[in-house]
Amino acid sequence: MGDGAARLEGRPTLGSLARELGVSRQTVSNVLNNPELVTESTRRRVLAALEGTGYRPAPGRRVPHTQRPMAIALRLYPAGDGVNGTLMDRFTHRITEYAQQRGYRISLLSARDAADEVRLLSELHHDWAIDAAVLTDTYAGDPRPGLLVQRSIPFVAFGRPWGDEAAAHSWVDVDGRAGTLAATSHLRALGHTRIGYIGPEAPGVCDDRRSGWRDGVAGAGPDPEDLQEVVAFDTARVGAEAARRLQARGATALVCGSDTLAFGAVTALRRAGTTLPVIGFDDTPVARALGISSVAQPVEAAAQRLIDILLSEGPATRPRQVLLEPHLVLRNLEPFVS
Amino acid sequence: MGDGAARLEGRPTLGSLARELGVSRQTVSNVLNNPELVTESTRRRVLAALEGTGYRPAPGRRVPHTQRPMAIALRLYPAGDGVNGTLMDRFTHRITEYAQQRGYRISLLSARDAADEVRLLSELHHDWAIDAAVLTDTYAGDPRPGLLVQRSIPFVAFGRPWGDEAAAHSWVDVDGRAGTLAATSHLRALGHTRIGYIGPEAPGVCDDRRSGWRDGVAGAGPDPEDLQEVVAFDTARVGAEAARRLQARGATALVCGSDTLAFGAVTALRRAGTTLPVIGFDDTPVARALGISSVAQPVEAAAQRLIDILLSEGPATRPRQVLLEPHLVLRNLEPFVS
């Protein structure tokens, strides 16, 4: 495969293509949308000409009869080493199932970094191997949305364009801040005034979750900064160590930015013979097995909305931006083994 | 899409195609393999004729210049509710990465059952949307391998043709029996004579793992049947209950058919204030986080072997069958929180 990006510029339109072939715009449109209305020789001639160009209809208006793949690319990230990996597993499963119902397949790709992902998507799109892409794991300064818009590759992002308020592409995300705010508010309603937070600090998802806790503890009493454990890694061991420090500083309840951290915190506290209410994030199988309360993301709904938006978009549609609400799953904080 | 299966019978060969087109067999071969040796008009004529037939070269001999997708189908199963889901996550990631290195993409599909999977694979293969398939989660009485052979759809299975010794297709699997045997032997070497087993009973993978334990305890002393807990579900709660029963019957160590069961067992024993050596299966992130010993499957190596076999197969090659060895990961049985 060559430099797909360069070849993508100056793509022909239905009109320029019709002029080039000496047929009407309507004929080209019929070949793509109502092939039964044109003669076999016209159909073959127009499809052969299309072959050599970059022209293609919007993803939702694809014609199965052209025998082109109807595929949506999705980059697969390495399986995490923690407890949270199941979330993207659920997402991938649902997006595969729902895209298939709508006539599309999910085509996986593996990439070293954002530039590599964009390069691969450009090549695959140019070669007609994919029709569109779903981006996941967006971050502050993410170059991918801008590059894909520039290359006219249809896509929807699962994740907001953090820090880029002017971004004009479609995305679906889950309101993480609302989730940690609901968790913190629940603990305050139970009478807690010293609620600690364990989580990483980073622009985007991490800071968003942390801001929900910060808003939730505002006015509760002590300086929130004292009850915050900013951690570098999302591992159970890190969660365990942070929980012990927060307990020593007088925290009576904990909100965690992930179930991995919550899992470590709960295990450490139980080993120390105490139990504090702990609320995690992502409602993983491990949180369910250990009876840890958690914030649940509607990832299946997100997958479905992404596909709906992707397949309803055309050159004339406006970008759509959807923020879904998570919900709090409350569990007995005693372990299931009574 | 129509009934792909019916249309797949009587596929043309390179020879019959050449006769039909009035060109030599070598010319057809050149169009596919050395397009620079034929004129543009011949190339177009032969490719157009190929379009209307079911002919295609073996997956490993595909020509990128035909602009057809080079895709391998993989059915995605629902994310498990236990701890073990990460295994297939790792498999999917590695197979995507390695197939891509070899010029192929993994195309996901979702299916209700075996028949639905075969129907989808037949349609996608007929429509040139995929070149080959990888089957996973094989089971005793699995109809898929036979049906795919019948339909001439190239595939390799991750999993043995349980109970069908005569099956002549290619597969890669991990020797589960060797894994539980190594675990049991390790515990015997530590002096244990009453080693219990927790796992489901079912032809195929489950019975294979159980047989490793049974062979390992042979001659150790008590009747092995007394120290076996056949469970119906692979959940932590079930593992916890089974561990308590085995401890009451005098087991001094446990081998489990999954990390989910081992996780439940360890948690129950710790709650009861005791620790027995417990060895799980699959070396999941949860086993690592809790410090549980486990049998590790080389899933990345399996994914790679599957692709290598798939892309080296042709009409004349013999099926290859590869059984990989798992290895035992021993950990401190005390929890990581000291």
Asked if A87 is an interface residue toward chain B (Cβ–Cβ < 8 A), one would say no
Closest CA to B138 of B183, B75, B56: B75
Pairing of strands B321-324, B171-174: parallel
CATH 3.40.50.720 fits B71-174+299-324, yes or no: no
What is the DSSP annotation of A72-104? EEEEPPPPPSSSTTHHHHHHHHHHHHHHHHTT-
Nearest CA in chain A to B92: A76
pLDDT band at B320 (very low <50, low <70, confident <90, very high): very high
Q: Work out how many CB contacts closer than 8 A connect A with B.
A: 133
A4-55: CATH topology is 434 Repressor (Amino-terminal Domain) (1.10.260)
Q: Which of residues 217-246 of A touch B (CB under 8 A)?
A: 235-237, 240
Identity of the amino acid at A306: L
- For residue A262, give how far its alpha carbon lies from the nearest alpha carbon of chain B (Å): 12
CB B160 within 8 A of CB B261: no
- Say whether pTM exceeds 0.90: no
Q: Quick one: pLDDT at residue B307?
A: 97
Asked if A320 is an interface residue toward chain B (Cβ–Cβ < 8 A), one would say no
- For residue B91, give how far its alpha carbon lies from the nearest alpha carbon of chain A (Å): 9
CB atoms within 10 A of CB B273: 6
pLDDT band at B8 (very low <50, low <70, confident <90, very high): very low
Closest CA to B335 of B246, B267, B282: B267
Q: Quick one: pLDDT at residue B20?
A: 73
- For residue B54, give how far its alpha carbon lies from the nearest alpha carbon of chain A (Å): 13
* φ, ψ at A148 (rounded to 5°): -70, -40
Between the CA of residue B314 and those of A303, B71, B230, B317, B320, what are the distances in Å? Answer: 38, 17, 43, 5, 12
The CATH class for the domain spanning B176-297 reads alpha beta
DSSP B13: P
Which of B50, B90, B108 should one mutate to test binding to chain A, selecting the residue with the greatest count of A CBs within 10 A? B108
Confidence check: pLDDT of B25 > 80? no
Q: Are A69 and B64 an interchain contact pair (Cβ–Cβ within 8 Å)? A: no
Distance CA A217, CA A224 (A): 7
Distance CA A92, CA B110 (A): 10
Asked if A81 is an interface residue toward chain B (Cβ–Cβ < 8 A), one would say yes
Q: Which of residues 114-153 of B touch A (CB under 8 A)?
A: 124, 127-129
pLDDT band at B158 (very low <50, low <70, confident <90, very high): very high
Q: Are A108 and B106 an interchain contact pair (Cβ–Cβ within 8 Å)? A: yes
Please report, rounded to a whole number, the percentage of residues in chain B having pLDDT higher than 70.
Answer: 83
Residues of chain B contacting A266 with CB distance shorter than 8 Å? none
pLDDT band at B79 (very low <50, low <70, confident <90, very high): low
Side-chain-facing half-sphere of B211: CA atoms under 13 Å: 11
pLDDT band at B156 (very low <50, low <70, confident <90, very high): very high
Asked if A79 is an interface residue toward chain B (Cβ–Cβ < 8 A), one would say yes
Closest CA to A143 of A111, A118, A110: A118
DSSP B113: S
Q: Quick one: pLDDT at residue A82?
A: 56
Confidence check: pLDDT of A228 > 80? yes
**Among positive and negative, which fits the CA dihedral A305, A308, A314, A316?**
negative
Between the CA of residue B187 and those of B118, B267, B278, B327, B332, what are the distances in Å? Answer: 43, 20, 9, 15, 14
Please report, rounded to a whole number, the percentage of residues in chain A having pLDDT higher than 90.
Answer: 56
Distance CA B136, CA B306 (A): 11
pLDDT in tens, A253-270: 999 999 999 999 998 898
Mean pLDDT of chain A: 84
Q: What is the ipTM of this complex?
A: 0.76
Q: Quick one: pLDDT at residue A64?
A: 44
pLDDT in tens, A286-334: 888 788 999 999 999 999 999 999 999 877 789 999 999 999 999 964 3
Write b or e for each residue in A272-292: b if 16 or more Cβ atoms lie within 10 A of its Cβ, otherwise e.
eeeebbbbbbbbbbbbbbbeb
Distance CA A195, CA A255 (A): 7
Query: Tokens 């209809």 appear where?
Result: A57
- For residue B219, give how far its alpha carbon lies from the nearest alpha carbon of chain A (Å): 34
Which of A94, A286, A297 should one mutate to test binding to chain B, selecting the residue with the greatest count of B CBs within 10 A? A286
Asked if B14 is an interface residue toward chain A (Cβ–Cβ < 8 A), one would say no
Confidence check: pLDDT of A83 > 80? no
Write b or e for each residue in B50-81: b if 16 or more Cβ atoms lie within 10 A of its Cβ, otherwise e.
beeebbbbbbbebeeebebbbbbbbbbeebbb
Percent helix, percent strand, percent coil in chain A, to nearest 5: 45, 15, 40
pLDDT in tens, B259-317: 999 999 998 898 888 889 999 999 988 888 788 999 999 999 999 999 999 999 877 78
Across residues A21-29, what is the average pLDDT?
77
Query: Tokens 């293609």 appear where?
Result: A56
- For residue B259, give how far its alpha carbon lies from the nearest alpha carbon of chain A (Å): 12
Q: Are B267 and A290 an interchain contact pair (Cβ–Cβ within 8 Å)? A: yes
- Both tokens of B317, joined, read 């090659």
Q: Which residue has the higher pLDDT, A233 or A109?
A: A109
pLDDT in tens, A115-144: 999 999 999 998 888 999 999 999 999 999
Asked if B275 is an interface residue toward chain A (Cβ–Cβ < 8 A), one would say no
Q: Quick one: pLDDT at residue A33?
A: 64
Q: Which residue has the higher pLDDT, A223 or B83?
A: A223
pLDDT in tens, A167-177: 889 999 999 99
Query: Tokens 């298939």 appear where?
Result: A100
Q: Helix (H, G, I), strand (E, B), or coil: what is residue B97?
A: helix
B83: nearest CB among A64, A90, A286: A286
Across residues A75-96, what is the average pLDDT?
80
The residue ranges of every structural domain in chain B are 4-55, 71-174+299-324, 176-297
Across residues A158-183, what is the average pLDDT?
94
pLDDT in tens, B159-171: 999 988 888 899 9
Q: Quick one: pLDDT at residue B128?
A: 80
Q: Quick one: pLDDT at residue B85?
A: 67
Q: Are B105 and A267 an interchain contact pair (Cβ–Cβ within 8 Å)? A: no
Q: Are B107 and A110 an interchain contact pair (Cβ–Cβ within 8 Å)? A: no
* φ, ψ at A64 (rounded to 5°): -55, -30
Distance CA A234, CA A229 (A): 12
Which of B286, B297, B299, B300 should one mutate to test binding to chain A, selecting the residue with the greatest count of A CBs within 10 A? B286
Nearest CA in chain A to B268: A337
pLDDT in tens, B183-226: 999 999 999 999 999 998 888 999 999 999 999 999 887 788 88
Q: Quick one: pLDDT at residue A80?
A: 61
- For residue A167, give how far its alpha carbon lies from the nearest alpha carbon of chain B (Å): 30
pLDDT in tens, A38-58: 777 777 777 766 655 655 556
Distance CA A160, CA A173 (A): 6
What is the DSSP annotation of A230-252? E-S---HHHHHHHHHHHHHTT-S
Confidence check: pLDDT of B7 > 60? no
Strands (DSSP E) contained in B76-136 are 105-109, 132-136
Distance CA A77, CA B323 (A): 28
Across residues B253-260, what is the average pLDDT?
95
Q: Which residue has the higher pLDDT, B78 or B298?
A: B298
Q: Quick one: pLDDT at residue B337?
A: 30
